[in-house]
Structure 1
Amino acid sequence: MALKVREIPDLMDKNKITLVAGRNGLERDIFSVGIADYEFLDGFDYSVEDEFEPDCFVISSLIFAQGHPEKILYALKILFHSGVSGLAFKEALFQKLPPEAISFANANDFPIFSFRKDVHSEDFIFQITEAVLKDDHQLLSEENLELMIQKRLSNYDLQKITRGISLILKRYAMAAYITSMDSMNIGRILRSVYMSKQIRSKAIMARYGDGIFLIVTGQAKDEKQFDILMKNVLESCPIDADKISIYQSSIHSAHEELDDCIRESYHAYTASAASGKKFESYSKIGTYSYLIPLLESTALESFSKRISDAIADKKELLETAEAFILKGGEVAAAAAECGCHLNTIRYRLGRIREITGMEEMTDFEFYEALSTAIKVRCLKDL
């Protein structure tokens, strides 16, 4: 569930924060936190759309209203119409708000808190950010991500996640599973996303295993735009781009098919690990797209086991079979991989046909059957 405005006092010493208006708006959701200090000063190039997001909780010292308390009402109206969840101001320049500001907040159920001047605004912002991050961690927990990967998450639970995470999903979404050759400071990376206003309206990250899921969202089903968006997000994070591998999903409906995004990106990673190839996107993993979901199928396991077990104790034949399949059926490439002559590979393939009972099969049928067995074996070995 999203952080609620009513939970704000629980994030700090309750003796240092006071609700001053908008009591009926305490059930508003909070998905991010922002600052409003200089945005309302005369001459400031201000854009509501750029500065304040819907469901954002705003912290302010009210410095923009110093000597001009009438500006507070003006600011409140802009914040309210921007969809801001609420406001907390520091009791430094103002201990109380003008009556007209209080009346506006109460009339529009817009919550306003005051907090003592010995409270650091940065600490307050950090506490809210950590609380939102904690909620996202619960919704995008490794357990829930695992259920998405296994396609075992109900539509009801998926809707709870898509509506509860801090990222306000647009029409479409894409996911990428990211791994690194070096250990990543995942906590630092996740926190950087939440602290960046430019990123948090477009993307969200979640830890899974030794990697991170990155989810980005957009209004149009445009692959180029999503690639640009994903690149921009990664460039804004403390990640060494030269040391990471990225496995992308296709673009799906954000609210109804977010689990497909997660599953596809992770399957691209799994296919890459099993094959020794680098599949940067799910669309390129070929037969792995159905082999991975069927990995626990009794029929598939029985078929694959019958072939692979027949040559499992014959090291040269097994190595040849793996090289032949993982090199796409190219005899020359398999020979180079095994460090032997082409005729040696052809002889060993003939022996595999005999031992597995596939002598009567055409070359295509033989490759198809052997490919299934070897790929399943490699997947099982992960």
Structure 2
Amino acid sequence: MTDATPTTRAVLVLEDGSRHVGRAYGAVGRTFGETVFATGMTGYQETLTDPSYAGQIVVMTAPHIGNTGVNDTDPESRRIWVSGYAVRDASRVVSNHRAQGSLDDQLVADGIVGIRGIDTRAVTRRLRDVGSMRGGVFSGDDFDLGDDEQLALVRESADMRGLSLSSQVSTAEAYVLEAEGEPVGSVAVLDLGVKTSTLRYLAQRGFRVHVLPQDTTPEQLRELAPDALFFSNGPGDPAASDDQVELLRSALRDGLPYFGICFGNQLFGRALGFDTYKLPFGHRGINQPVLDKTTGRVEITSQNHGFAVDAPIDGVLDSPAGFGRVEVSHFSLNDQVVEGLRALDVPAFSVQYHPEAAAGPHDSNHLFDRFREAVVARKSGQPVDFGSDLESSI
């Protein structure tokens, strides 16, 4: 791959044959992925470094991107994970006191092929009508490939259905973050694409955080003997993560308190015996309204998922996998998609969105407090209730 010049041409090709011609942005070459749109007006650096976007070409609906540059504080992980990046207006200058470099340079450094100067509103409307599609960005010499050849390459690229990506984004070795303030115990975090802010929020609540690779076995988890288990966000199809589902079922049988977010919610649903399915175009952005059925509050949430748990949002259900009673605790007010699960007979709950939301909003940050108080209660021999917050957090 090479660097783009202001005149380097590029094209975004979708699998339905639609083409959007612009200029190269970042590295020059070719890239493929599931083309999705993200609606956040801010936080592009957090979006790019969110491992949940691995395997995807992200189209930003906000028109002006890059004006605040990039810095070493805001990244959510060790690198940019998107497969490709599409924007309308890429800022020509960086103007922010926190900036340590330009977004363009960071895209080049991480080898991300992007495109600028296209009608991202038209792309978004197309994805809303048809659904997320495979796509490819071609720039430089690859721009000159014939239309038919480019389209054939896109249609031959990987489909997100059945795709396991956790091994690409997870840590290779376990590591530990020490608790901050008054210690409350240890939590094992299965890194399926965990974000830095998640680990920081857990440590700030007194947890000694053991971050584990995605291929951790039940025997290794028992040997660690944590006080609680956490499954992170991450990319890919939850139906392709059987080993992680079995790890979670083993932990639930052992009575280990569990909290999962995003991909961790989908795997919790599978562990309970429910199916998952692919959404037409998913939920991606920082303005998604969710109803918390326990408190009756509506929270504006940060989300990034293309799959969901298949379960009715009303009533108490019996876990098909034998874990007792379960209820859907949260659901989307846009399309009634399951946004949270709560087990009533084992100490476990999950949400589909990102309560850490480094770029905001922070409406759901209290869920980390809910998790902490439940673990403290369990360690002191008191009943565990994952369904209610502390009065001070409401």
TM-score interval, normalised by the smaller of the two chains: 0.3 to 0.5
The alignment's TM-score, normalised by the length of structure 1, stands at 0.32
Larger Rg: 1
